[in-house]
Amino acid sequence: MKYIVQTLEFAIVLALVILSVITFNKINQAALFEKETFSEEKYHFAIITDDMSSYAYENFISGVEVAIKDLDSVYEVYEVGANSLQDVIEMIVITKVDGVILRLSNNAIASDAIEKCKNEGIGIITVGNDAPDSMRDVYIGTNKFNLGRHAATLAVQSIDGPVNIGVILGSEYIDEKTIATNNFINGIQDIVTRNNAVNLSVIKYSNSVRAELLMDDMLNGDTPINVLICTDPVDVNRIIRVLVDRNKVGDIKIIASGDTAEIKDGIEKRLITASIVEDYSEIGNLSVYFLNRVIQGEGVSSYVNVSFETLEQRNLGVE
Which domains are present in the chain?
44-142+280-306 (3.40.50.2300), 144-279+312-316 (3.40.50.2300)
Statement: residue 263 has pLDDT above 50: yes
Alpha helices, DSSP H, located in the chain:
2-37, 55-71, 85-94, 111-119, 144-157, 183-192, 211-220, 233-245, 261-268, 280-295
Q: What is the per-residue pLDDT for 16?
A: 53
Confidence of residue 241 (pLDDT cuts 50, 70, 90): very high
Identify the bridge partners of residue 198 per DSSP, sorted by sequence position.
163
Statement: residue 103 has pLDDT above 50: yes
Which residues make Cβ contacts (< 8 Å) with residue 296, sequence separation at least 6?
none
Amino acid in the structure at residue 114: I
Average pLDDT for 279-299: 95
Statement: residue 94 has pLDDT above 90: yes
In whole angstroms, give the CA distance from residue 185 to residue 202: 11
